[in-house]
Amino acid sequence: MGYRFDDLKAACQDDWARYIEHDFVRQLGAGTLPADAFRHYLQQDYLFLIHFARAFALAIYKSRSIGELRHAYDELKTILDMELDLHIDYCRAWGIDEQQLSKLPEARATLAYTRYVLDIGARGDLLDLHVALAPCLVGYGEIANWLNRQSFTVRGNDNPFDAWIAMYESREFQDAMERERNWLNASLNDVTPARFHELTTVFHDATRLEIDFWQMGLDQAD
């Protein structure tokens, strides 16, 4: 029996839980996150998504079959046509226009995470790159679903961050998450134990960088 995406999560389950259940996420779900912390996160996440789109463009370049090309293209379209557009609209609602966003400096946590993903993509193969991207693409969908199961989560107009949860619980994003999980399940099925160990290192590193990204938002760090 081969490996699956859930085996990657199990290999770093403590850090995966710290990522999914981070204080930033909890406060966002409860509607108690400081507005300045959320605004700082929004700005940095916009910059992150640009590099995330570049990483999926790299995945298109590294693809060796029509199926791989289509999968990477579909995920890139989700970022460009849904996530980034909604992000820009959301930032505007928080008093941040696109011109301001384009001039923002990257925080150190943003630099560390995005350059790590792009470096893995440049040095490794297509599977390395997808594994490095998975904590974000799969993780955000899981976070929205996790929040919806928690008694402390507030939905609707009583939560100023409700639109964020709605974005990642949307059918379009959940479909993108499932496509990525299915692709990873199929790709991991035939890897050797030694190769899986390499991939768990990539996944673990990316997950820890996601934790740092939440903390950057919470601390409003540069």
Per-residue pLDDT at 115: 98
Per-residue pLDDT at 101: 86
pLDDT along the chain (222 residues), means of 10: 95 98 99 97 94 96 96 94 88 87 93 98 98 98 99 98 96 96 98 98 99 98 96
| pTM for the whole structure | 0.95
Per-residue pLDDT at 87: 85
Per-residue pLDDT at 1: 66
Per-residue pLDDT at 10: 98
Query: For the residues of the chain, what is the DSSP string, one character each?
Result: ----HHHHHHHTHHHHHHHHT-HHHHHHHHT-S-HHHHHHHHHHHHHHHHHHHHHHHHHHHH--SHHHHHHHHHHHHIIIIIIHHHHHHHHHHTT--HHHHHTPPPPHHHHHHHHHHHHHHHHS-HHHHHHHHHHHHHHHHHHHHHHHT-TT---GGG-TTHHHHHHHHSHHHHHHHHHHHHHHHHHHTT--HHHHHHHHHHHHHHHHHHHHHHHHHHHT--
Q: Which residues contact 186 (CB under 8 A, 6 or more apart)?
A: none
CB 80 within 8 A of CB 46: no
* CA atoms within a 13 Å half-sphere pointing along the CA-CB vector of 72: 24
Q: What span, in angstroms and rounded, lies between the C-alpha atoms of 73 and 15?
A: 30
Per-residue pLDDT at 128: 98
Q: What span, in angstroms and rounded, lies between the C-alpha atoms of 208 and 35?
A: 24
Q: What span, in angstroms and rounded, lies between the C-alpha atoms of 213 and 221?
A: 10
The topology (CATH level 3) of 5-217 is Heme Oxygenase; Chain A (1.20.910)
pLDDT tens by residue, 143-162 = 999 999 999 999 999 999 99
Segments making up each domain of the chain, as ranges: 5-217
Per-residue pLDDT at 145: 99
Per-residue pLDDT at 216: 98
From the number of C-beta atoms within 10 Å of its C-beta (0-12, 13-18, 19+), residue 27 rates as middle
19: which 2 tokens? 């990522």
